Amino acid sequence: MAHKPVPASALEKPLLLNRPSKSPAEETALHAVLSALYTARNPVILVDALILQFGLRPLVRNLLDHLKFPTFCPFMGKSVIEESKPYFYGTYSGKVSYPGIQKSLEEDSDLVVHIGPLPTNMNTGGFSAKINPEKLDSDSGKQSKLQRTGI
């Protein structure tokens, strides 16, 4: 496919880089996310490496600056967050995390917003990261709060 000729006429129409949408699914998703955030008593954010792949670092940093929730990152997500920020609490790598970090995510939090997840052996402390799927927006079998809303 990389060497397939493309007609020059395709370049006459500018690319649409924004995807304007106000679909019912988008509204449902927005409501579910906001509801989960508003009802959480101890939310945390886990920022991961796929943020970089999609060029979302500025957007995520802006979100973190506004929310100021306790924020963690796995090893491969370290360059996404500015670690000097007061809301940065450390690097989460399952059972190989510094003392207290694993407990903060796995036990003490009631909502984990995992942005840009990259679940690799190195990124999860040998797959020892065990965040309750009910706290996440993505899971491994059980339906989370967000998924039960149809997202």
**Per-residue pLDDT at 138:** 41
The string of pLDDT tens digits covering residues 16-69 is 777 666 788 888 888 988 898 999 999 999 999 999 888 899 999 999 999 999
CA distance 12 to 68: 44
Q: What is the pTM of this model?
A: 0.71
CA distance 119 to 127: 8
Q: Which CATH number fits domain 41-148: 1.20.58.220, 3.40.50.800, 3.30.2130.10, 3.40.50.1220?
A: 3.40.50.1220
- Domain map (residue ranges) of the chain: 41-148
- Look up residue 28 and give its amino acid: T
CA distance 124 to 13: 44
Strand ranges across the sheet with 88-91: 88-91, 71-73, 43-47, 111-115
The string of pLDDT tens digits covering residues 95-139 is 888 889 989 888 899 999 989 888 777 677 667 677 777 777 543
